[in-house]
Amino acid sequence: MEYTVRDGWLEQARHVHSPNFGPRPPACRPELLVIHNISLPPGEYGNDCIERLFTNCLDWDAHPYFDLIRGHEVSAHLLIRRCGEAVQFVSFGERAWHAGRSRFEGRDNCNDFSIGIELEGTDEEPYADRQYEVLSGVTAALLAAYPSLSAERIVGHSDIAPGRKTDPGEAFDWRRYLTSLTWRGRLA
């Protein structure tokens, strides 16, 4: 499938607007793609908890784990569910709140200049084939829409927040993902 980014939104995604975003600093554009993982509660898939978290509607009392994240106001630009559904929460032109304390090539606050994509999953459980397919297609669309992005600027959350974050984890097949981009003609 071909994916298209228009006015900061992935046309093929379901749009669920998050209040957890802000403007990028002046003259700042997306220069970094950060791959994450998330599941709520951890290891559970297919429910609406991630959407509720990103829209500040999560019932904090619905599961004991939610006490650990109570009150967090976070978002990502895009979520790719295990079934391959893409859900966009924040325009790629805006600053989503996905990276937290972070640093890339000497620059702090990666949220300012990055796009965050969450994969529904955990560090240890293999990701679904459909997630790789969608991630590859979305990445190709982002590389076409934002020339400031490149293969050298695709990282895991663990790369920009070492010691604090571990995602997308050991289960993420970087070779498979980057090879799929080469096959699509998006990498040299």
Question: pLDDT band at residue 185, thresholds of 50, 70 and 90?
Answer: low
- pTM of the model as a whole: 0.96
Q: Which helix (H) or strand (E) holds 52?
A: helix 49-54
Residues 6+ apart with CB under 8 A from 176: 132
pLDDT number for residue 50? 98
pLDDT number for residue 188? 43
pLDDT in tens, 172-181: 999 999 999 8
User: In the annotation, is 118 catalytic?
Assistant: yes
Residue pointed to by tokens 């009392």: 61
Q: Is residue 68 part of a domain?
A: no
The answer on pLDDT for 104 being more than 50 is yes
Q: Domain count of the chain?
A: 1
pLDDT number for residue 155? 98
Q: Is residue 48 part of a domain?
A: no
pLDDT number for residue 151? 84
User: Of residues 151 and 13, which shows the higher confidence score?
Assistant: 13
* Angle between the N-to-C axes of helices 129-145 and 174-183, in degrees from 0 to 180, rounded to the nearest 10: 50
pLDDT number for residue 182? 76
What are the distances in angstroms from CA 136 to CA 23, 167, 182?
27, 18, 10
The answer on pLDDT for 49 being more than 90 is yes
Q: Is residue 133 part of a domain?
A: yes
Q: In whole angstroms, what separates CA 68 from the centre of its chain?
A: 21
Q: Is residue 90 part of a domain?
A: yes
Q: Which of 118, 120, 125, 133 is catalytic?
A: 118
Q: What is the mean pLDDT of the chain?
A: 95
CB atoms within 10 A of CB 43: 11
Question: pLDDT band at residue 183, thresholds of 50, 70 and 90?
Answer: low
Averaged pLDDT, 109-137? 98
Q: Is residue 19 part of a domain?
A: yes
pLDDT number for residue 184? 55
Domain with 80 in it:
5-37+76-183
Q: Is residue 62 part of a domain?
A: no
CATH of the domain at 101: 3.40.80.10
What are the distances in angstroms from CA 155 to CA 102, 103, 152, 160?
12, 11, 8, 8
Q: Is residue 28 part of a domain?
A: yes
Handedness of CA 14, 50, 1, 147 (dihedral sign): positive
Q: Is residue 150 part of a domain?
A: yes
